[in-house]
Structure 1
Amino acid sequence: MTADRHWSDPLTPSEIVEITALVRADDRIGAEPRFWGIAVEEGLARSLAPGQGRPVRLVVMNPAAHAAWEVTGWTSGTDRVEASLASWSPVDAKRPGVSSDEARAIARAAREHPLLKEALAKRGITDTTHVWVDPESITGFEPEDLADRRLSWGTVWYRKSADDNGYARPVAGLVPILDLETLDIIRIEDHGVIPMASEGGNYRSGTWGPDRHVAPLEITQPEGPGFTVEGHRVTWQNWSFRIGFTHREGLVLHDIAYRDGDVERPVLRRAAVNEMYVPYLDADPTAYRKNFFDWGEYGAGPLTASLELGCDCLGEIHYFDAHVLDGVGEAQTITNGVCLHEEDSSILWKHVNTRTGEADVRRSRRLVISFFATVANYDYGFYWSLYQDGSIELEIKLTGILSVSGIDDGKMPAFGRMVSPNVQAPTHQHYFAVRMDTAIDGPKNRLVEVHAEVEEDEELNPWGNAVKMVSEVIASEKDAGRMADASRAVHWRVENTERTNRFGESTAYRLSAMHTTRLFAKPGSIVERKAPFVSKHLWATAYDPNERFITGDYPNQAPLEAEGITAWQQADRPLDGAELVLWPIVGVHHYPKPEEWPIMPVHRIGLRFEPDGFFTRNPSLDLPPSSGGDHCHAPTAGSGGAVAEGHAFHGHDAGGHEHHDHSAHGHHGHEHHGH
């Protein structure tokens, strides 16, 4: 570990290797151990000086012995202290997450299994080299007679050729029940032969006709990027933060602060997408089990896509590699796993003074930190954006391929949409649990819910138009499961309990949940009981280093409802003046469309965190006017119907006086979006 490495920096390959070498030397893990993740123990590490060894924990399994352990240890440091192991704690062998290596191993074994070959032959498939088997998490749906085994169930797909899109051809009616430890098919459910899709789903260039012509759009930054990167610390405009990366969550941002004059004011100690839950809402026998914790049961880190394989970011880009522990205990590098770049973001603020003919406009620029995770058929992009006015946004981009099922001739889906002959896409939902460790102006914060009410006192509201904003302090955890409600203009303030602004208000940031939904499942159903956190749109807890993940440490084959945030809430800890952790739930109800087939245009959801009494006034008043160059000009006469330069706008002000605006009217620039 180098002297300047910060505790929050991603683990390096050398740190991963030195710990796994010590674990491998222990006889209890057997001849063919499996691993699931290594991470810095943040609660211990965040007080360490640069260069010290870091506390870590990893999970190792011995499938032959039906055993698993959580192992803790320390990486080596510049003080020449060698790496060491500290403890081995047994873990229920069913419950560690499934690595990509384990998934590939069971898929290979299943494809060659006699039971599956026999079932495929009934459907005319005799060559299994083009068959895919995706092992899916089975939590809540374990057969009673197999409750003690480490299980999965399989979705089966077929490709007519090596370059075919297998996700367009589901093999309907087949559900293999899989033993992950023995790599065996225990049994197969066969719900009857349904005709295969007669239409392909290839989405590569030229498949559906010649490509259209698209004129070039150049993104140029002649002076280079506006950000500075030192190791994993980034500064841009008035912002500073650190980039981290973990096995479970992927991209993590640490120590986000905004420089206000000469003062570095903290905003968030930590921010990450903590979990993803995707329940499918279809009773079809090959779809009803589909409900996944993609982070807790698989892991965002190893699912992160290398951004060298496409054009995900434009402009002056800085990439960060990501390093993960694979399922067989080796360190793997994801080249260009995280992207850092700037984007033009349309107008930040603008006003035209029609009395003087003066116009002031400032274009918005944002710094975007992003990564993409590919989860079998779906692809998810996560974009944290910092803005020049002190705002923070998280945008989640959903794309990739819909998870589909087969449907018989002449039938229409009851709980989804047709997207291709004999192919239906079930209605489903995507929930993203975000973890935000707040630090508004310091560590002691409170959560306040704000909503609008009509003033009922007629003396105060004689015209019936007065509205008051009502604030409620969320004092303890028993009241800290909250619902968004646009009909009441609900939003939340995170306030510092010790600092006020010049108006006597607590300095604060405002959280707005723009995208929410509710779970459309019966109370008591497995889908509802598996993920009780989706019942609210915001949760809050007092910081506890052991409460890392909203679903608990090991949600795979976990007892329903027993762990995670709903269990933590029972402690009812005080929240007023606490180190506060917010858990916003961003969600979308996805009723598929034919236009989302065979590949889905990006669907965007997200949240916004913006200053609310944090600054004295608009903090972006110091931005210079945009020059724009050739991209920002007023058109001349005859340029496609725009008003020519010098033509006056005639109108009247509020007092009825005629006024003239001699400013030029026309286009003030082209928006460049870099995704």
Structure 2
Amino acid sequence: MSTLAPEPVPADAPHPLDPLTAAELATVAKVLRGDARVTEDARFWGVTLDEDHARRAAPGETRRARAVVICPSAHLAYEVGLELGDTPRSTAWRELDVRSPGCSSEEARQAAAACRADPRFQRALALRGIHDVSLVMVDPESIGGFEPPEYKGRRLTWGSVWHRTSEDDNGYARPVQGVVPIIDMESMEILHIEDHGVVPLSQESGVFSTGVVPPRPGLRPLEVVQPEGPSFTVTGQRIDWQGWSVRVGFTHREGLVLHDLTFDAGGKGPRQVIRRAAVNEMYVPYFDTASTQYRKNFFDWGEYGAGPLTNSLALGCDCLGVIHYFDAAVLGGDGVPRVIPNAVCLHEEDDGILWKHHDGRSGRTEVRRSRRLIISAFATVANYDYGFYWSLYQDGSVMLEIKMTGILSATGVAEGEETPYARRVAPNVAVTNHQHFFSVRLDMAVDGPRNRLVEVTAEHETDPELDPYGNAARTVLRPILSEAEGARRTDPSRALHWRVESAEARNRMGEPTAYRVHLENTAVLPVREDSVCARRAPFVGRQLWATAYDPDRRFVAGEYPNQAEPGADGVHKWQEEDRSLDGTDLVLWATVGSHHFPRPEEWPVMPVARARLRLEPDGFFDRNPALDVPPPVSCHAPRPRRRAAPGRYTLRTRTPEGCLYCCTVHR
């Protein structure tokens, strides 16, 4: 069973960090359209709350925002600062390279329609037996690093092409190999149609909707019941649960954002842990020389935006239990605000054993079950679907789990064709080896704003006089004191991890209070250093980056990666300033990575693959902060009462409601 939680408590007043509302987005669009610099054919790529100002603003002070507007007929783009409130107005205009803003869904649909209307595109499809272009799908893809020199200075995209046999068909199962339209995204002109030769289309259906495959028998209901309701409370955008307090935010570029994570152990008062947490960028490079594959390297957040791609979640499907949903608002490329109902899901889950001990002398067992609070959202980027699950635990830990599912991005192959860089998953269909990198931005605030980063490794004792038995190992702590040292690599062979320490607070052992950072899933680019993907995304070459906070350095790959000069901006450039990291406002950029070797079992739809990052208290508390978690109300240890027969005995116990039941156990 899955039900909605009771209505939340309304906040006394909007919080400065609350996400922008649909009304505020409409106001921004109106202000911009009313300015003489904005043309009639204007398009928009996101409006973002000025969070730095929001954190410093006095109560009731007017909120500020930043918007990106594209003026195709003028071949111009602007980043505009705005003040909202009773008299909304623009305050600053910065001209951008017109190629820089990302592509909106509205622009993508225009580009696809332009392709279908182009006679050259239609002729290329006809050579492959496709005559009804209305069933052809075109996904405009970012072209960064592969711009044809003859189109220098244009805002470009290229199209990956797919064919459906009906409106309900899964087009991603039928890649149209060899046809590549090059599109001017300002004029929506089809500049060129590449045709690399006819490859037979797959004739196998990839439809996987309900009813296509007979359902597996024997699956009985599994009900999640919370008869007394959830243990969390929601006030406006703030969540309180089991000592945790957190605010839910949402942005055009990053989607789900968490603000101001604090933990109160034992009612001693809230302590800061993280000021802000979000998946800051997603980079997906493909490793194939095929004509429809070699260009594929996407900054899915910086070139498209997680916010507009966020799903509306369905009760009983995406989350089980007693659910609270947060809606979100985004501004479309056409300047029209859109509300995403149920964009963020909040629910609790049982998580197995939290802690346990059985005393063999007394026979007494103490056990506590773990529960976690999950704040989640799903985004669909064309064929792939990504779930982002932030979990808070009763022992003060935090985990981000990224779930990757959806449909693999395939290429068409001829019978007998070798596929050294891809794996066949169906007749005439192969999937290229590729990777998924997620940069997780963590604005740390462990017991306050002044933090430092320390790298921790296990190393054996090198002095034989100190270690006559050869089994001594030290915990080695290495402070990372400046940005020049802030690009770090993982090393499981040395149990390497990191601590974010308070520069001021100490625990009862006299150590700095701290949180430990673990990256459970990492990957390294298996490509040449001079490749486009290696040059475009240097941040994936390290698993952790550390920088001092700067309100203007918001995104790991730079503010505008679309068609930017590879490597011109981003965390690797900021570090050249070598600012101090010793007791500063510390920002971590953790790179969670997954190398995807495709499997036939992932076709035509992919079972969830997971990648994780964990933060856990490391001297932040003086002892186990979960000692106060009550025992399960249904936790009864049955004891043998009488022998039933050789090899068997009968157990008698009572349910929490007092009902006596018996069962026979075979030994």
TM-score, length-normalised on structure 2? 0.94
Q: Which amino acid aligns with 1:75?
A: L
1:422 aligns with 2:428: yes
Letter in 2 for 1:425: V
CA contact (8 A) 2:546 2:588 kept: yes
The 1:495–1:515 alpha-carbon spacing in structure 2 relative to 1, beyond 3 Å, is same
Partners of 1:642 and 1:608 in 2: CA distance: 46
- Partner Cα separation in structure 1 for residue 603 and residue 397 of structure 2: 35
Residue 564 of structure 1 corresponds to which residue in structure 2? 570
User: In structure 1, how many angstroms separate the alpha carbons of the residues matched to 2:302 and 2:193?
Assistant: 26
For the structure 1 residues 310 and 119, does the alpha-carbon distance in structure 2 shift closer, same or farther, using more than 3 Å as the test? farther
- The residue identity in structure 2 corresponding to 1:33 is A
SS of aligned partner of 1:29 = coil
Distance 1:316 1:635 in 2: 37
Query: Aligned with 1:116: secondary structure?
Result: helix
- Separation in structure 1 between the aligned mates of residue 638 and residue 429 of structure 2, nearest angstrom: 50
| AA in 2 matched with 1:512 | H
Match of 1:487 in 2: 493
List 4+ stretches of structure 1 deviating above 6 A: 632-639, 664-667
Paired with 1:644 and 1:201, the residues of 2 have a C-alpha distance of: 53
| TM-aligned CA deviation for residue 464 of structure 1 | 1.0
Superposed, 1:419-458 pairs within 5 Å as 419-458=425-464
Match of 1:13 in 2: 22
Instruction: Output aligned runs, 1:55-204, within 5 Å.
Output: 55-76=64-85, 81-204=86-209
Q: Does 1:292 align with 2:318?
A: no
For 1:156, the aligned partner's letter is: V
| Cα distance in 1 for residues equivalent to 2:302 and 2:195 | 29
Give matches, 1:237-636, under 5 Å.
Answer: 237-260=242-265, 261-308=267-314, 311-628=317-634
Q: Give the secondary-structure state (helix, strand or coil) at the position aligned to 1:380.
A: strand
Q: Is the 8 A contact 1:447 1:494 kept in 2?
A: yes
- Matched to 2:240, the amino acid is T
Task: State the AA in 2 paired with 1:21.
Answer: K
Q: Whole-Å Cα distance in 1 between the matches of residues 19 and 57 of structure 2? A: 15
Tell me, yes or no, if the aligned pair for 1:634 and 1:665 is still in contact at 8 Å: no
Asked whether the 8 Å contact 1:449–1:474 carries over to 2, the reply is yes
Q: Which stretch has the larger CA shift, 1-10 or 393-402?
A: 1-10
Give me the whole-angstrom Cα distance separating, in 2, the residues matched to 1:293 and 1:144: 22
- How far does the alpha carbon of each residue in 1:466-503 deviate from its partner, in whole angstroms, 9 at most, with x for none? 11111100010000000011011000000001111111
* Alignment of structure 1 residues 18-57 onto 2, 5 Å: 18-57=27-66
Aligned mates of 1:638, 1:98 — CA distance in 2: 73
Over 3 Å counting, the alpha-carbon distance change for 1:130 and 1:310 in structure 2 is farther
2:306 maps to amino acid = A
Deviation at 1:463, TM superposition (A): 1.1
For residues 397 and 426 of structure 2, what CA distance do their matches in structure 1 show? 42
Query: In structure 2, what is the Cα distance between the partners aligned to 1:329 and 1:363?
Result: 49
Q: Structure 1 residues 129 and 270 mapped into 2: Cα distance closer, same or farther (>3 Å)?
A: same
* 1:221 alignment partner, one of 226, 245, 269: 226
Describe the shift of the 1:3–1:459 C-alpha distance in structure 2 as closer, same or farther (beyond 3 A): same
Q: Which amino acid aligns with 2:79?
A: E
Q: Distance in 2 between matches of 1:336 and 1:449?
A: 40
Q: Is the 8 A contact 2:503 2:512 kept in 1?
A: yes
Q: Residues 639 and 651 of structure 2 are in contact (CA less than 8 Å); yes or no, is this contact kept in structure 1?
A: no
> SS state of the match for residue 308, structure 1?
coil
Aligned to 1:651: none
Kindly provide the CA deviation profile for residues 637-656 of structure 1, in whole angstroms up to 9, marking residues without a partner as x: 999x9985679xxxxxxxxx
User: Contact (CA 8 Å) 1:4, 1:50: kept in 2 or not?
Assistant: no
Counterpart contact for 1:350–1:360, Cα < 8 Å? yes
Write the letter of the residue equivalent to 1:585.
T
Relative to structure 1, is the Cα distance of residues 268 and 188 closer, same or farther in structure 2, using a 3 angstrom cutoff?
Answer: same
* 1:433 aligned counterpart, secondary structure: strand
8 A contact 1:137–1:297 mirrored in 2: yes
What is the TM-score of this pair, normalised by structure 1?
Answer: 0.93
Q: Give, in angstroms, the shift of residue 271 of structure 1.
A: 0.2
Structure 1 contact 492–512 (Cα < 8 Å) conserved: yes
Code of the aligned partner of 2:159: G
1:41 Cα deviation (Å)? 1.1
> Quick one: distance in 1 between partners of 2:346 and 2:88?
32
User: Aligned to 2:111, what secondary structure does the other structure show?
Assistant: helix
Summarize the Cα distance change of 1:566–1:634 in structure 2 as closer, same or farther, 3 Å threshold: farther
**Alignment-mate amino acid for residue 490 of structure 1:** L
1:238 maps to amino acid: G
Q: CA deviation at 1:48?
A: 1.6
Report the residue type matching 1:71 in the other structure: V
SS of alignment partner, residue 194 of structure 1? coil
The worse-fitting range, judged by mean Cα deviation, of 64-73 and 270-279 is 64-73
Separation of aligned partners in 1, 2:201 and 2:641: 59
**1:68 and 1:29 mapped to 2: Cα distance?**
9
Q: Residue type of the partner of 2:523?
A: T
Task: Name the amino acid aligned to 1:550.
Answer: V
Q: Deviations over 1:259-301 (max 9, x none)?
A: 1332210000000000000000111111010110000000000
Identity %: 56
Q: Is the 8 A contact 1:7 1:49 kept in 2?
A: no
Of the structure 1 ranges 23-32 and 342-351, higher mean CA displacement relative to structure 2 is found in: 23-32
Counterpart of 1:234 in structure 2 is: 239
CA contact (8 A) 1:5 1:50 kept: no
Q: Hey, what's the Cα distance between the residues in 2 that align with 1:296 and 1:355?
A: 60
CA distance in 1, matches of 2:565, 2:37: 27
Query: Residue 211 of structure 1: CA displacement?
Result: 3.8
CA RMSD between the two structures: 2.2
**Is the Cα–Cα contact under 8 Å of residues 634 and 666 in structure 1 kept in the other structure?**
no
Q: Is the 8 A contact 1:205 1:211 kept in 2?
A: no
Match of 1:295, SS state, is helix
Q: In 1, Cα distance between the equivalents of 2:520 and 2:488?
A: 14
Displacement of 1:189: 1.2
| 8 Å contact from structure 2 (residues 648, 664) kept in 1 | yes
Is the partner of 2:442 in helix, strand or coil? strand
Residue by residue, what CA displacement relative to the aligned partner does 1:25-73 show, whole Å, maximum 9, x if unpaired?
1232211110000011112221123433211010011111111001111
Structure 1 residue 412, shift from structure 2 partner: 3.8
CA contact (8 A) 1:306 1:335 kept: yes
1:666 Cα deviation after fit: 9.0
Distance 1:238 1:310, change over 3 A: closer
CA contact (8 A) 1:254 1:269 kept: yes
Q: Distance in 1 between matches of 2:603 and 2:126?
A: 28
- Give the C-alpha shift of residue 633 in structure 1: 7.5
Matched to 1:350, the amino acid is: K
User: Which whole-Å CA distance do the structure 1 matches of 2:422 and 2:511 have between them?
Assistant: 50
Q: Conserved in 2, the CA contact under 8 Å of 1:412 and 1:418?
A: no
In the alignment, residue 18 of structure 1 is paired with which amino acid? T
In the TM superposition, residue 109 of structure 1 has moved relative to its aligned partner by 1.1
**Contact 1:194–1:408 (CA under 8 A) maintained in structure 2:** yes
Code of the aligned partner of 1:6? H
For 1:14 and 1:374, the matched residues in 2 are separated by: 25
Structure 1 residue runs of 5 or longer lacking an equivalent are 648-663, 668-675
Change (3 A) 1:82 1:392: same
Write the distance in 2 (CA, Å) between the matches of 1:595 and 1:645. Answer: 45
CA distance in 1, matches of 2:35, 2:58: 31
| 1:414 positional shift | 0.8
- Inter-partner Cα distance in structure 1 for 2:111 and 2:229: 48
